[in-house]
Amino acid sequence: MSEIAKFVNHGAANITPAVALKVLRQLPQWKLGFTQIDAPKFPHLVDQLEFLADAVEDVVEGAYKELPFVAVAQSVFALVYAHKKTGIIPEGVLELGGADNSSVVRAVLIQNEKAFAIYAGTQGVDWRKITSEA
pLDDT digits (tens, 9 = 90+) for 119-133: 999 999 999 999 865
Give 63's DSSP letter.
Answer: S
d(CA 16, CA 87): 22
Query: Is 0.75 topped by the overall pTM?
Result: yes
50: domain range?
3-130
- Sign of the Cα torsion 40, 44, 46, 49 reads negative
Strands (E), 10-102: none
Residue 134 has pLDDT above 50, yes or no: no
Domain count, the chain: 1
User: CB neighbours of 1 closer than 8 A, spacing ≥ 6?
Assistant: 9
d(CA 109, CA 99): 15
Contact 39, 98 (CB under 8 A): yes
**Whole-number pLDDT of residue 96:** 54
pLDDT digits (tens, 9 = 90+) for 48-106: 999 999 999 999 999 999 999 999 999 999 999 988 865 554 445 445 557 788 999 99
Report the 10 Å Cβ neighbour count for 129. Answer: 14
The one-letter amino acid at 32: L
